[in-house]
Amino acid sequence: MLTCPKCQESMRTYERNGVNVDQCTGCKGIFLDRGELEALINAEAEFSAPAAPAAPAAPQRTSEPYYPPQNAQQPYRKKKSFLGEFLDFD
């Protein structure tokens, strides 16, 4: 049975992600053996590493360029917002 180096209470051993973690039943302190902190850091780095980006899709080619109809376009209007309308005193 392991004893806590801080308060001398007994300790329990848990396994988390393949790493043995010792926790004191008295002060609830967590204690790691040599190399276990590095194993936890490596596991966290693998978990939080971004996934490899997917290859971008090839642009689709058409025989002729597409031009949208000129009469269908609306003039540019600024998006309305709550504060914009709230502060508009005209």
The total of other beta-carbon atoms located within 10 Å of residue 24's CB is: 20
Q: What does the pLDDT look like over 48-83, one tens digit per residue?
A: 777 777 778 777 776 777 776 666 556 666 666 545
Of 35, 31, 34, nearest to 7 (Cα)? 31
Q: Which residue has the higher pLDDT, 69 or 2?
A: 2
Does the structure show a pLDDT above 60 at 6? yes
pLDDT, position 10: 95
Domain boundaries of the chain, sorted by first residue: 11-48
pLDDT in tens, 20-51: 889 999 999 988 888 888 888 888 788 777 77
